[in-house]
A and B are shown apart, each in its own frame.
Chain A
Amino acid sequence: MSKVDRLERLTNLMLVLLGTSRPLTLRELADAVPGYPGPGDARRQAFERDKRILRDEGITIAVEPVDGPDQLGYRIRHEDYYIADLDLSPDEQVALNLAVAAVHQGEPRGREALWRLGISTPVESLVVADLPDLPALPVLHEAIRTAATVAFDYHGSTRRVEPAVMRFRGGWWYLIGYDLGHCAARTFRVDRMESLPVCGQPGSAALPEGFDADKAFADKPWLLGKDDQIEVDVLVDPIEAPLVLLELGEAAVLERRGTAGTVFRIPVTNTDALRSWVLGLGHHARVLSPPDVRAAVLEWLHAMAGYEEALR
C-alpha cells in the first residue's frame, strides 16, 4: 500500500472518528473508511497501526464498551482533540513565533506546535540559542505535568523518582526530584539517563511537603556523587581565575593572592569529577587541600607520566 493511500485513510479515519456522536466498532469503521483489508487479523493490525500514528500525533482515540458482538467502540472525544483556548493576544503570538524561530532544538517541534495552535507566522530570525534535543525530555515533562512517578536507569541502577522541575543550565538538562530509593532529593543529568524514562500512573507522585527544587539543585559534576561532602581548596592563577569566578560565584572565593591567583573553596561529593575539572584547567589550577585529594591528583599525574614512559 502506498504512503498516499495511508494518509488518505488516516485523514478519513480521523474525520469519521471526530464526527461521530457514538462510539463506532471496528466493523463500522472499516465500512466507513475506504482502504482497510477484509475482516480478520490484517484489518485489526492495520487499524492498530493507524491508532498508533494518530496517538503519536497527539490524537487520542477513546475506547468504550458498546452493545453487540463487537463489544468495543471507538471515537475521538472533542475534549481530547481540541486544546483549551489559550487566548493569546497578537503580540503574544508574535513573541512565541520569534522565540521558536530563535531556538534551535533539533526537530522542528516548536514550529509544529505553533501550526497546531493556529498562530504560526513566518519570521526571519537569527538563532540565538541552542537547546539539546533528547527523547527523554517530553516524557519527563509529562511526568511532572501529571504528577506521575518516573523510572529510569542511571549509573547502572534503576531509579524511581518523584519529579519536580526540569532545569537547563550550562548546556545540560537536569531533572530535580525526590529519589524514592535513596529517600532524598537528587539531581540527574537527563543525557546521562541510560534508559528512556517510564511514567507511572498520573497522580502517583507526591513530593514531600516543602520540597525545594532550587535548594535541591546540584549542577556541578563534583556534587553529583555519593561520597561524604568535603571542602576542597583550589588555587587558580590570574589567567583562568575570572572564568572560574563566573562559574563558581563570589561566595566560593576564599582568598585573593594577587599575582599568585585566587583560592576557591569548593564543596565536593565526587572527588573524581573535581579532579577532572581541575585538570581541565591545565597548569592554571592546583589543589591545595585537603592533603589526600591533592595527593590523589598528583598520583594521577605521576601515573600518566610513568605510563607513557613504560610503553615507549
Chain B
Amino acid sequence: MTTGRLDAGRRLRRLLAVLAYLAEHQSATLDQLAVRFEVPEVELIGDLQLAACCGLPPYTPDQLMEILVDETKVEARLGAELARPRRLTRDEGFALLAAARAIAAVPGADPQGALSRALDKLDTVLGRSGSVVVQLDTPPLLDDIRHACEAAQQIEIEYHSSSRDEVTARVVDPGGIFESEGHWYLDAYCHRSGGVRRFRVDRLRWMKPTGSATCHHVTSDNLVGTTGGARSGGDSDVTRGDALIGDTVRGPAAGMTFVPGPEAAVVRMAIDEGGRWLLEAVPVLGVADLDDGRKEVTIAVAGRAWFDRLLLRLGTHARVLGPPELLDAATQAAQRVIEAYAVADTS
C-alpha cells in the first residue's frame, strides 16, 4: 500500500490541512501541529520547509508561500484561499457520516443534540438525508452497565459464557463499554478470575450493584477499546479468549487483533469449498493448501462449547486433523444434538 503515489497523496492531504490551519491562525507551535495532525515533528518540519519553496511562477520570494519554521514554532502568512474548507473525497465524506451516525445511534444519544444538528448539516452537503443508517444493538442491561461504568460502581453479574456454555456469577469492577461487530462489550476487572476480562453485554443475565465502589482501575492500557495503541497491541493481562473468540464468530477485520488466551488450544482442520466461510468468520492462525483441493486451517479454540457449535455449522465440510483429543469432536457434537432431538420426540 505504501507506493510512492499513495505516499505523495497522503502527504499532500496532510500538508494542505496544515496550511489551511496556518492560513487561519498565522502561527502555531510545532508540538501543537504535531498533535493536531498526528504527524512526527521531523516530518512536519520537512513538509513545511518544502511548502515554503512552493507558490506561483516565477517563484520569486513575493510569490512563494510565506512560512517561517524555527525550532519550536511556525509562522505563516498565507492567502485566505488556503483557509477555506475543501471538498471532501467520497471516502472522507462517508467515513465522517458513518462515524457521526454510529455515535448518534448509541442508546441514550440526544436526538436534538449538537451531533444530530451537525448531521443534518452534513446531510445537505454530503448526500441525501437518510441514505446512511446505523443501528446498534441495545441489550436490556446496557443502560445499567453504562451507568455502573460512569459511576465507578462495583457490580455483581450473572454471565452466560458461550465458549464454556456455563452460567457463572461474578463480582466485577466495570471499566468501559464499547460496540464491535454488532455487539456491546464490557471490559471489567473480574474478582473471580483475578484479572481484566471482556464480557458480551447481551450475555449478562442480570446485574446489581454490590454497594461498593470499584477498587481495581481498568486503565486504558489494559483495555482494548482505546484510541491509543492498546487496540492493536497484545496486552498480556487481557484474556480475549474468554469472550472474544469464544462468543464472537467473527474475524479480526475491524481492527481487533486477536491474541489467543493462555487456555486456548490450537486446532487444525481440513475444510472443503463448502466450509470456506470459516476463513472470514473466525480469526485464523494459518491457512495452507492440501493436495486434494481442501484447505488446512489452523485456529485457536478457547472453549469447547464454542468449537462444537462451529463444527455443527460446518458439518461434513470440515474435518479435525488435530490435536488427537479433538478428532471425534464433530461426531460427539452431532450425536449430542441428535440425542436432544430424540429426547424431545419421546417426551
Residues of A within 8 A of B (CB): 3-4, 6-8, 10-12, 14-16, 18-19, 31-34, 49, 52-54, 56-59, 80-89, 91-96, 98-118, 120-122, 124-133, 137-139, 141-142, 144-145, 164-172, 191, 235, 239, 242-243, 246, 276, 279-283, 286, 298, 300-305, 307-309, 311-312
Q: Is the CB of A283 within 8 A of B336?
A: yes
Least CB distance from B323 to A in Å reads 15
Instruction: With A118-B85, A122-B36 as known contacts, state yes or no: A7 contacts B255, CB within 8 Å.
Output: no
Per-position binary interface string of chain B over residues 305-329, scored 1 when its CB falls under 8 Å from any chain A CB and 0 otherwise: 1001101110110010000000110
- With a cutoff of 8 Å between Cβ atoms, the chain B residues found around residue A33 in the complex are 57
Q: Is the CB of B220 within 8 A of A166?
A: no
> Is B28 part of the binding interface, using a Cβ–Cβ cutoff of 8 Å?
no
A-B CB contact pairs (8 Å), 14 listed: A3-B7, A4-B50, A16-B57, A58-B92, A83-B88, A99-B115, A103-B103, A105-B95, A116-B88, A130-B180, A171-B183, A303-B316, A305-B338, A311-B319
Least CB distance from A295 to B in Å reads 10
Q: Within the complex, which residue of B89, B113, B115, B333 is in contact with A57, where a contact is CB–CB below 8 Å?
A: B89
Q: Is the CB of B20 within 8 A of A282?
A: no
Least CB distance from A165 to B in Å reads 6
- With a cutoff of 8 Å between Cβ atoms, the chain A residues found around residue B338 in the complex are 298, 301-302, 305
Q: Is the CB of B125 within 8 A of A86?
A: yes
Q: Is the CB of B309 within 8 A of A279?
A: yes
Least CB distance from A147 to B in Å reads 8
- With a cutoff of 8 Å between Cβ atoms, the chain B residues found around residue A108 in the complex are 38
Q: Within the complex, which residue of B35, B136, B202, B316 is in contact with A304, where a contact is CB–CB below 8 Å?
A: B316
Q: Is the CB of A168 within 8 A of B102?
A: yes
| Given A11-B15, A115-B17, 9 extra CB contacts under 8 A | A7-B47, A57-B13, A58-B87, A58-B90, A112-B13, A118-B24, A127-B227, A141-B127, A165-B132
CA distance A289 to B79 in the complex (A): 73
B: number of interface residues (CB 8 Å) = 124
Q: Is the CB of A3 within 8 A of B8?
A: yes
Closest to A28 in B: B57
In the A-B complex, the 8 residue pairs with the smallest Cβ-Cβ separation, listed nearest first, are A171-B182, A58-B89, A115-B17, A171-B181, A113-B92, A109-B95, A92-B118, A95-B115
Q: Within the complex, which residue of A98, A120, A139, A171 is in contact with B103, where a contact is CB–CB below 8 Å?
A: A98
Instruction: With A53-B8, A99-B102, A246-B202 as known contacts, state yes or no: A168 contacts B305, CB within 8 Å.
Output: no
Tally of contacts, chain A with chain B, CB under 8 A? 358
> Is B56 part of the binding interface, using a Cβ–Cβ cutoff of 8 Å?
yes
Least CB distance from B176 to A in Å reads 6
- With a cutoff of 8 Å between Cβ atoms, the chain B residues found around residue A83 in the complex are 85-88, 125
Least CB distance from A12 to B in Å reads 5
Q: Is the CB of B102 within 8 A of A129?
A: yes
Q: Is the CB of A138 within 8 A of B125?
A: no
> Is B346 part of the binding interface, using a Cβ–Cβ cutoff of 8 Å?
no
> Is B246 part of the binding interface, using a Cβ–Cβ cutoff of 8 Å?
no
Q: Is the CB of B133 within 8 A of A4?
A: no
> Is B234 part of the binding interface, using a Cβ–Cβ cutoff of 8 Å?
no
Least CB distance from A208 to B in Å reads 16
- With a cutoff of 8 Å between Cβ atoms, the chain A residues found around residue B37 in the complex are 115, 120
- With a cutoff of 8 Å between Cβ atoms, the chain A residues found around residue B336 in the complex are 282-283
Q: Is the CB of A100 within 8 A of B118?
A: no
> Is B54 part of the binding interface, using a Cβ–Cβ cutoff of 8 Å?
yes
- With a cutoff of 8 Å between Cβ atoms, the chain B residues found around residue A104 in the complex are 227, 231, 254-255
Q: Is the CB of B135 within 8 A of A168?
A: yes
Instruction: With A15-B55, A53-B5, A99-B102 as known contacts, state yes or no: A305 contacts B97, CB within 8 Å.
Output: no
